[in-house]
Amino acid sequence: LYGCFISGPSTTAYIARAARKDRINLTFTLISSAWWMGYIFSPSIGGYLATKIGMKVVFYMAFAFYISAAFVLFFIRSQREVGKRQLNKGKPSASFNIKTIVGWAVFFASIMFLNVLMRPFVPTFLKDAYKFDEFLIGVLGSFTFAGSAFLGILIGRLGDKFGNEAAIAVCLASTAFSLTAFQFTSNFLLLAPVFFLMGATYTPWALMNATISSLSPESLRGRWVAISQTASMLAAFFAPYLGGNLYDISPNYPFMVTITGTLILLVMFIAFSLLSARGKNIPLNRKSEE
């Protein structure tokens, strides 16, 4: 039940309609950063409180925070429906949209698959290979969430200024670089900035929502967002199983596969973007003309 995230597509569609079209990437990454900002300190605080007052009380406190977050929804105004004529005005052909959006959905699902393939095994690797204790592992986790919060905002601004291609390329490059560095050093002082950069692995989700929302017709935005999110979550569902089998063979294998796959995606993505820029009729990014 905890994983039933049924509000995701509707929330994304709502945000997309309310956001300024020239700042849609920043809007989604900023909201995502607010989410991850809470993760910076909450694991340490929750662990400390659990040892002092008990885990059950911590669950009650978390429940109170969830109720408070839900209460805020009562102050959000509903968006008025736009007439069908307005929705269809200036709407590109359905076949063009479908091919483009499906391509993006598959692309982001591939990124999600590679990221989740290795992500569950980061703490295990730190403990098994580098002999870190729980405290140091938790601190590095906080660096990752801090990186997700702060880098997400910068990457969002980059995407609005230079296009989604630049933002996504930065995410993929940061992922490959940080995971490679992670495999070559056990020095905590060096791992801290590495894990900060690793926070960029969480940003593609926000970029996916921004991209799909901007490409989708307003009348079908919720549906296409739901399809893209479902594709990514399905990829995330199967990835840890493969990662676990690879980890049993060698602790380095999940990270090596993710690094290799990410670099392949990055090279293909850059080549695809260059071909698109040369007018080869390969639609990759379409900014709103509104």
> Which helix (DSSP H) or strand (DSSP E) does residue 102 occupy?
helix 94-118
Output the average pLDDT for the chain: 84
Query: Which domains occur in the chain, in start order?
Result: 25-42+95-277 (1.20.1250.20)
CA distance 192 to 143: 6
| Least-confidence region, from 57-66, 104-113, 169-178, 181-190 | 57-66
What pLDDT does 87 receive?
Answer: 45
Of residues 172 and 145, more confidently modeled: 172
**199 and 147 Cβ atoms separated by less than 8 Å:** yes
Read off the pLDDT of each residue in 91-96 and give the average, rounded to a whole number. Answer: 46
Q: Enter the tokens of residue 125.
A: 């690797």
Q: Closest Cα to residue 142, out of 167, 123, 156, 125?
A: 123
User: CA 21 from chain center: how many Å?
Assistant: 20
Check whether 158 has a pLDDT greater than 70. Answer: yes
Read off the pLDDT of each residue in 261-289 and give the average, rounded to a whole number. Answer: 75
**Residue in this structure with the two tokens 């408070």, named with its chain if needed:** 68
Q: Buried b vs exposed e over 177-208: b needs ≥16 C-beta within 10 Å?
A: bbbebbeeeeeeeebeebbbbbbbbbbbbbbb
DSSP states of 109-155: HHHHHHHHHHGGGHHHHHHHTS---HHHHHHHHHHHHHHHHHHHHHH
Percent of the chain scoring above 70 in pLDDT: 84
What pLDDT does 244 receive?
Answer: 95
In terms of phi and psi (left: phi > 0; alpha: psi -120 to 50; beta: otherwise), the region of 185 is beta
∠ CA(117), CA(120), CA(124), 5° rounding? 125
